[in-house]
Each structure stands twice: as C-alpha cells, then as structure tokens.
Amino acid sequence: MINHILSEFTKLKMIMSQKSFNVLFLCTGNSARSIMAEAILQRLGADRFMAFSAGSKPRGKVNPFAIELLKSKDFKTNAFRSKSWDEFAGSDAPSLDFVFTVCGRAANETCPIWNGQAITAHWGIDDPDQPTLSDDEQRELFKKAYEVLEHRLKLFMLLPLDNLEESDLQNELKKIGNAFP
C-alpha cells in the first residue's frame, strides 16, 4: 500500500513539475485550420499547453464549416474568433514556445517578432475551404484537415519537450509536419 501511494505521489510530482508551453498556430485567414488546431490542443493538452491561433490577413470570422465540425465534436465555439497575428507580437503578448504554420501561404510570409524563444515549424495542410465544391464535399475536406491536425498534435504531445536538444526537437517537429493518419 505504501509503495502504491509513493508511486502515485511520484507520478503526480512529475506531472506538476512539467513545464507548460504556449503554442501559436498560424494561417493566413485564421478561419479554419489554425482555429481547429487551437481547439484540439486546448482540449488534448489543457494540462500542459496553452493554444492560440492567428492569421496574417484574418478574415474576421471563423469558417462556418469549421464551427459546425467543432460543435459536432462537443467543442464550445463561442470563444473562437479570427484575429491578427499582431495580437501576439506586442510586449503584452504571451511568451511563445512554439509557432506552427498550418497553411502554405503563412509559411512564406515574414512573421512578426514573437515574445519568447519560439521554435517554429511548418505543418502545411490543404485548405478545406473550397467554395466551388458542394457543402458535403467541403465538410469531408474539413473532417480530413481535422484528422491530420489531431494526429500531428497527438504526436507533438508525445515528444519529451523538456529533454530534447533544440536541433533534435526541430527535426522531430519537421517529421510531424509530414505525418498523416
């Protein structure tokens, strides 16, 4: 019994001593992929990660298909909004540990200077917002984008972030950016 209590105490102590990380997901419009990534990481990694999203040219509203998909997965969506990455570049912005681009265009843009020592990686995902397709076809694209994001974020959360050298971490993040379920 004592050994079990000590074991549980040790596990709890390890969890409490783990560092918390701030993660920003970028996409040009901040209306779909980056919003979904923020939602997924907030749910899956709430004990260790604080997730944010932003865009270089925010659309000003979250894509209705993204909202529909998130609601279908029991996310509360009223707090999600399309916002500029400028909100994360000021002196009062949170210190960022990781910045991931999730669309092709944002990866090639000149980013602001972030607070903190953010490690960056590109995790490009095809844009599910395809207005020339039917609603059902777009829903399928959003579902696929969500599945890829969820898969990559689960892999990210498995990394021993406290114990990897930066170059090794960068290599692992690049591998994750090419991973598909």
Helix (H, G, I), strand (E, B) or coil at 140: helix
Please give the Cα distance from 58 to 80 (Å, whole number): 13
Give catalytic status of residue 51 as yes or no: no
| 70, 103, 121, 141: the active-site residue | 103
* Cα–Cα distance list, 38 to 2, 24, 33, 149, 150 (Å): 41, 8, 9, 10, 10
Residue 71 exposure: Cα atoms within 13 Å on the Cβ side? 11
Other CB atoms closer than 10 Å to residue 90's CB: what's the count?
10
Nearest to 142 by CA among 28, 26, 36, 27: 36
Give catalytic status of residue 107 as yes or no: no
Please give the Cα distance from 55 to 37 (Å, whole number): 13
Give catalytic status of residue 111 as yes or no: yes
| 24, 26, 27, 37: the active-site residue | 27
Do 159 and 169 meet the contact criterion of CB atoms below 8 Å apart?
Answer: yes
| 44, 89, 111, 169: the active-site residue | 111
Do 24 and 54 meet the contact criterion of CB atoms below 8 Å apart?
Answer: yes
What residues are labeled active site? 27, 103, 111
